[in-house]
Amino acid sequence: MLLGAAAMFLTAACKAARRAAREHGSLVLLWRFVTGADMARGRVHVCEPGQACPAGYWAHMRRRHRAAARLAATAAAAGCAWGAVADRGALAAALIAAAAAALAVAAARAWRGGAARRHDRGIVRPMAAALARVLPAAEAEARRMITLPPGYARKTRGELGAITLPDWYPASPEQRKQVDHLVATHLPVDVETTWRTAGAPKKVIISVSPSPPELVPFAAVRELMEACRPGDVLIGLDRRSDPYTGSFNGGDDPHWGFSVGSGRGKSTFLCVTAAQILRQDPGASVLGVDPKMSSLDPLAGLPGVELANDPRDIPGMWQAIARYKAQMEERVTAKKADPTLEFPVKLLLLDELNQFAAMSAAWWKALGEKDTPPVWMDIAAVLWMGRFVHCHALLVGQRLDDKATGGIGLRDSLGLRGLAGFRPNQWKMLVGTTPVPKSQKPRGRWIYTDGQQETWVQNICGTAQEIRDWASAGRRPAAPGVSVRPAPASTDAASQDGHSPLPGTVWITGISAAANYLSMTQAAFEKARQRQPVDGEIRRGNQPAWSADNLRAWAASRPRASSTAKYKDTELVSDLPAVSEGRRASGRYAPIPRRDYWPGSPPRIPRRYPRPGNARDCQGSPGSQYSGRPSNRR
């Protein structure tokens, strides 16, 4: 059967050859066959890349390629005929080897074709659709204008591809800006464009963009930092070694958030940012919340800087944030009364956000609460109201998801965002644009986005001493042993000029201001003051006044509520054992084993106890609405 089919095929081929020989001549046909020309027309039409070939791929092959294919096929046919006569075993082995090689080539071509199709579907087609609307032009025509090979992303230098523009395209500055933005946003690598419009064809050459410098030493950018106006911060240098800055001067990005992996320079970034703000304005202040305890050490002890960096004291961190919020609200009240007021920058730095959120949630849960910890409402107030009065927040964590920001949608309030050491899912969560760029390895190499453009930047790198010296320039050092903390301005003080006999001492004037400073209600402060006066009390006009240190010492030394009178069933448990030996012996209160799930968390007590912050049950707590301890009552 196979021999019969082969004989029929050869017969038909011989008849076609005789007809062509009578029409064109035998020598002409032989010449066309050997040189790769079209057997009927004697010429070849070659399709350009991206151009449709309706007559098929073979009809539009180049002559040398077609000649090689014809001669190879002729040689193979002759070899098979000779092998069938001389050695059929060798012929069978050769055919098997040829079939295996053909299958391997076909598999490789299919793999490359699949990669090309994925590249075309994921990169080229979306770019062509956008380009068609910018030109304007048909989408098929825009697709033929783009030349971008599938392996472009592996190149580290040189030209990646091009866009061939029509001759009528004017290439105005606004149109160039649109095309440049289109290219930058559709490619997952940093690129730069070069316009060649002199002559035809007009082209936009797409080339690999240079990378940012490997290191930006602090000393090398001192002049650039000095040139920044108050409220602007030099972050680092971009891929062209141009300054990349952020601003707290009333723009669209008053609060910043960063999702940065471990060892990528989070602490250095926060310290450099704070140092620039402190140097620019002697009235600027910084509150740093640092569960890691050591991230903000270069700023410790500087005037205008308060650090809450003890992970064993979660209530202390909450109190510091509550004071920051209270000071912001006082600025808002003053601004409403006098819209011409201008305030210095006030920064809230929250490092290791994921750790802070987990520790706060564990501490709040250990108190028996199931709702959102109240500290997040204080942070939310800063994010929602702070821009109006120059109060700004910088949140830095290893994964800036909704859970890390209290689960109340605070992430949407972060304008300028940065990532380093990230995974694709983190980019999609925080930025959401496609294609997703690959994280770059160098320490301090972050990518920033303001919602419109993504920029790779090499952050400033400085030593602790360099940062401290820069921040302290022009600031009065604090007196030894005195903690300088900006206190909320008194709302009922007759006069408060801020002058004190001891340099660096902060004075609180008025009952309302003192209660606010200690995060207590005014009534609770007055009652506690009647039971135990505050040391060092003086009079300023007709108002009592105290130093901030004396107020904090008094709050820490106040007696705890006893078990007598109306407090007999609300005894506070501040540490083990808080129950008297007599009660333990009577069996009314069993010993409570201590187990700290987080540093600073209260004992886990499987009994019902009053809600923290209740005035009746937390009368003896050191002045804070968050520092209540559970009781031992059944």
Average pLDDT (46-56) is 51
Reported as a pLDDT band with limits 50, 70 and 90, residue 19 is confident
- Res. 468 pLDDT band, cuts 50 70 90: very high
Q: Are 379 and 410 in contact (CB under 8 A)?
A: yes
pLDDT single digits (tens) 508-520: 888 888 887 887 8
Residues 358 and 414: beta-carbon distance below 8 Å? no
Q: At what angle do helices 314-337 and 375-385 cross, to 10 degrees?
A: 30
Domain residue limits, the chain = 21-86, 113-208, 216-472, 478-558, 560-634
Over the stretch 319-350, which tens digit does the pLDDT of each residue have?
999 999 999 999 999 989 888 888 999 999 99
Is 258's pLDDT higher than 80? yes
In this predicted structure, what is the pLDDT of residue 611? 44
Lowest-pLDDT choice from 158-162, 238-242, 473-477: 473-477
Q: Is 60 exceeded by the pLDDT of residue 274?
A: yes
Judged against a pLDDT cut of 90, whether residue 272 lies above it is answered with yes
Residue 614's pLDDT is what? Answer: 42
How confident is residue 373, by pLDDT bands cut at 50, 70 and 90? very high
Architecture, CATH, for domain 216-472: 3-Layer(aba) Sandwich (3.40)
Q: Given the DSSP bridges, would you call strands 305-308 and 285-289 parallel, antiparallel or unpaired?
A: parallel
Residue 184's contacts (CB-CB under 8 Å, 6 or more residues apart) are: 191, 453
The CA-based diameter of the chain, rounded to the nearest angstrom, is 128
For tokens 């079209």, name the residue: 38
- Least confidently predicted of 63-72, 298-307, 371-380: 63-72
Section 287-300 average pLDDT: 92
pTM beyond 0.75, yes or no = no
What distance in Å separates the CA atoms of residue 198 and residue 469, rounded to the nearest whole number? 54
Tell me: the pLDDT tens digits for 559-582?
A: 654 433 333 333 333 333 333 344
